[in-house]
A and B are shown apart, each in its own frame.
Chain A
Amino acid sequence: MADELRNVPVPAKPALWRRPAVRSLVFQILLVAGIGFFGYTIFQNTLHNLEQRGISTGFGFLENEAGFGILMTLIPFDETYTYGRTFLVGLLNTLLVASLGIFFATIIGFIMGVARLSRNWIISRLATIYIEVFRNIPLLLQIMFWYFAVLRPLPGPRQSLIFNDTLFLSNRGLYMPSPVYEQGFWLVVVALAVAIVASIMIIRWAHKRQEATGEQFHSVYASIGLIVGLPLLAFFMMGMPLSWDFPVLQRFNMAGGMVVIPELAALLVALSIYTGAFIAEAVRSGILAVSHGQTEAARALGLRPGPTLRLVIIPQALRVIIPQLTSQYLNLTKNSSLATAIGYPDLVAVFAGTTLNQTGQAVEVIAMTMAVYLAISLTISLFMNWYNKRIQLVER
């Protein structure tokens, strides 16, 4: 028996090309070689083609004078500034519309997501209709609808729709009063900062005390009081250093105040409504993901409906909502590039549009534009991952 076993031939080592380690090594070397060759060919072709067209490579063009104006700029800009400045202007406009869009879309999304789950029949029906309608229509179509069909055909400035003598809506945009900060306003800002820091400290202290002794402290009321009260106090102490610059109708146009140009308004409305529908779905799925047993358990422990929602349901729902919310925020930021279809001067429209056409530096311009979006994407997802981890810790 034992002899028989000893006589079984040892299986021969597999041939070289059958060994997994060798195979994977060869395969990966081939892959690297293939990618390298591909990249090299593209590089050579590009250099050759650029040379043929007489386009110089490099980022030197960023120093040249742009020579074109931009519809809306957050920083000073005119024709004499450089191409590099156009990049900055476009980037700031993109960031502006993305952050405003995220703000409004989140509000709309949370309200609609909760409304869709409401016990109130008509409210939940309306929310469902909103979600199903706007989710299934292309965003570009919605942007163009708001711009070309709603805002552009509005009457001219002289026939503006006037709300309460402060808001003027016309085809030049929405004019509204702008705040004018007078001397001494800095104290209000300082007071606000102090109040925010103080409330964070109070909340931390209250939390620690509750963990240690079980005594509760109404830190929410305290911090609201601080954040509202302290700046208000400073405001009155300095003799109300704030006035409003109201827009006034002149012969052909409006003067004074600040304006939301129709391009920005259309983009913002479309982005918020479209993304809001997706966020609403995320919110709904998050709330539904918390099993009903959690509510029942919380009630059995004697928690009232408010704390049940605040301490039991929402923290668990957020864990489902946050990842989906992140990807919606990213989508919104990327979708803001559709601005180019209606002429809102965002990064793609200004930099990858006008600047690219004027300079012909396609490779550099597109690479810079893509790098910006990649950087924004990575930053938001890093931040959200960090937040996600923090929220995940609630699990015990």
Chain B
Amino acid sequence: MTVHTPHPDLPPPTLSVGVLGWLRSNLFSSPLHTLLSLFAIYLVYLTVPPIISWVFLDSTWVGDTREACSGTTGACWVFVKVRMNQFMYGFFPESEYWRINLAFGLLIVLAIPLFIKKFQHKGKLAIFILVFYPIITFQLFSGGNFGLTPVETSKWGGLSLTLILAGVGIVASLPIGIVLALGRRSEMPIVRSVCVVFIEFWRGVPLITVLFMSSVMLPLFLPEGTNFDKLLRAMIGIALFQSAYMAEVVRGGLAAIPKGQYEAAEALGLSYWKSMGLIILPQALKLVIPGIVNTFIALFKDTTLVLIIGLFDLLAIIQQAFADPDWLGFSIEGYVFAASIFWIFCFSMSRYSMALEKKLHTGHAR
């Protein structure tokens, strides 16, 4: 008896597998796509090689003076290198740099356990970071106590100032935002309308006018003789502005909690604050962590606006470095450097928020 053996399968057409197949389905699937792909490839050819050679191949990295860069067509990173300390620490006295390093080092060390799954006391640690760490950092920055030399806020600057502004913004705006969001959902009509007006007012005006207001009008509002720091005024402006946005994010989370949760909390006989603090807010905040991170990204980018009222954040200090007569004409390098620092921070935060969104997707979202 002969056993029927099926004819072996023919290999798939060479045009549908491998590199050729991939090219065909992803780049040249139709005449229109072919045209688009060719155009895009041409565009990449026009832009990418010059950029790479400007940034890496033709650029100058070594040297301390302007002369090191003469004769090259690429970027002059020496400019950035020479001024690196200023870009990072502003006008902080050089002997005191360790204080800034210590403050940010401490933050990193404190924050690491938050990302370790097995660590038990995340809540306590987070409270420590939000409440006590700012005090420590403030002491380190301004000095005056514990034998540290005082440093005026006008000397703060560079990336460290940017990070401080962003940090203060988030730490101050989150609690204010939560209170506003609760107020906006309150059953008391006056409380609700006050919160609505407050939120809509800050969301309706540009941050610049808020900063102008804090620098021009705030001194008028206060009793005569009280005069406080320009930096502090900017911080108040940023915190109030951002808290309105934070309130809207938190409100979204509160609205997403099913009504049964509110009713269950009430049925248990919990008071308003207990039911909010123990039942509703933990769930709502967890839902909106990605939104909070996104607000934080916006806040981080918005800190650059303090340049307009004369504070020296990272962008402002780079901008003023262009005016140095020894280093005229290196603005592109400066901007690219600033942009890449901001980009690294913002991009990693947005990726983190996306990852969180995936991780926290526990079925509440509807």
Flag whether B107 is at the interface (Cβ < 8 A). Answer: no
Segment of A41-49, A69-77, A382-390 in the binding face = A41-49
Flag whether B212 is at the interface (Cβ < 8 A). Answer: yes
Chain B minimum-CB-distance residue to A25: B188
Which of A126, A153, A356, A362 is close to B220, meaning CB atoms less than 8 Å apart? A362
Q: Are A138 and B342 in contact (CB under 8 A)?
A: yes
Q: Are A374 and B204 in contact (CB under 8 A)?
A: yes
Which of A137, A341, A363 is close to B217, meaning CB atoms less than 8 Å apart? A363
Known: A141-B339, A141-B342. A122 touches B347 (CB 8 A): no
Please name all residues of chain A whose beta carbon is closer than 8 Å to the beta carbon of B304 when the two chains form the complex. 138, 140-141
- Complex: how many Å from CA A141 to CA B331? 12
Interface of A is mostly: helix
Q: Are B209 and A137 in contact (CB under 8 A)?
A: no
- Complex: how many Å from CA A140 to CA B217? 24
Known: A119-B29, A122-B44, A148-B322. A140 touches B216 (CB 8 A): no
Please name all residues of chain A whose beta carbon is closer than 8 Å to the beta carbon of B346 when the two chains form the complex. 135-137
- Complex: how many Å from CA A127 to CA B46? 16
Which of A46, A132, A373 is close to B209, meaning CB atoms less than 8 Å apart? A373
* Total chain B interface residues with beta-carbon distance under 8 A: 56
Q: Are B209 and A145 in contact (CB under 8 A)?
A: no
Which of A27, A42, A120, A340 is close to B27, meaning CB atoms less than 8 Å apart? A120
A:370-394 near B, CB below 8 Å? 370, 373-374, 377-378
* Total chain A interface residues with beta-carbon distance under 8 A: 53
Report the minimal beta-carbon distance from B247 to chain A, rounded to whole angstroms: 15
Flag whether B302 is at the interface (Cβ < 8 A). Answer: yes
Interface string of A119-145 (1 = CB under 8 A from B): 111110010000011011111111011
Flag whether B332 is at the interface (Cβ < 8 A). Answer: yes
Flag whether A31 is at the interface (Cβ < 8 A). Answer: yes
Which of B189, B206, B224, B335 is close to A144, meaning CB atoms less than 8 Å apart? B335
Chain A minimum-CB-distance residue to B210: A370
Q: Are B342 and A136 in contact (CB under 8 A)?
A: yes
Q: Are B188 and A340 in contact (CB under 8 A)?
A: no
Interface of B is mostly: helix
Flag whether B16 is at the interface (Cβ < 8 A). Answer: no
Report the minimal beta-carbon distance from A121 to chain B, rounded to whole angstroms: 4
Known: A132-B347, A373-B204, A378-B204. A366 touches B315 (CB 8 A): no
Which of A24, A48, A120, A369 is close to B187, meaning CB atoms less than 8 Å apart? A24
Known: A138-B302, A352-B212. A149 touches B350 (CB 8 A): no
Chain B minimum-CB-distance residue to A137: B339
Flag whether B355 is at the interface (Cβ < 8 A). Answer: no
Q: Are B190 and A120 in contact (CB under 8 A)?
A: no
Please name all residues of chain B whose beta carbon is closer than 8 Å to the beta carbon of A338 when the two chains form the complex. 206, 208, 305, 308
Segment of B33-41, B93-101, B117-125 in the binding face = B33-41
Q: Are A374 and B201 in contact (CB under 8 A)?
A: yes
Q: Are A126 and B191 in contact (CB under 8 A)?
A: no
Which of A119, A139, A362 is close to B301, meaning CB atoms less than 8 Å apart? A139
- Complex: how many Å from CA A210 to CA B134? 67
Q: Are A141 and B338 in contact (CB under 8 A)?
A: yes
Q: Are A24 and B208 in contact (CB under 8 A)?
A: no
- Complex: how many Å from CA A145 to CA B331? 8
Please name all residues of chain B whose beta carbon is closer than 8 Å to the beta carbon of A132 when the two chains form the complex. 347
- Complex: how many Å from CA A378 to CA B304? 26
Q: Are A366 and B339 in contact (CB under 8 A)?
A: no
Please name all residues of chain B whose beta carbon is closer than 8 Å to the beta carbon of A48 when the two chains form the complex. 224
Contacts A338-B308, A377-B203 aside, 20 further interface pairs with beta carbons under 8 A come to A28-B190, A45-B221, A45-B223, A48-B224, A118-B36, A119-B26, A120-B29, A120-B40, A122-B41, A135-B350, A138-B315, A140-B304, A144-B315, A149-B335, A338-B206, A352-B212, A369-B212, A373-B204, A373-B206, A374-B205
Can you spell out 9 A-B residue pairs with CB atoms less than 8 angstroms apart? Answer: A45-B222, A48-B224, A126-B40, A138-B301, A334-B205, A334-B207, A356-B216, A362-B216, A373-B206
B residues neighboring A (CB under 8 Å): 25-27, 29, 33, 36-37, 40-41, 43-44, 187-191, 194, 201, 203-209, 212-213, 216-217, 219-224, 297, 301-302, 304-305, 307-308, 315, 319, 322, 329, 331-332, 335, 338-339, 342-343, 346-347, 350
A residues neighboring B (CB under 8 Å): 24, 27-28, 31-32, 35, 42, 45-46, 48-50, 52, 118-123, 126, 132-133, 135-142, 144-145, 148-149, 153, 334-335, 337-338, 340-341, 348, 352, 356, 362-363, 366, 369-370, 373-374, 377-378
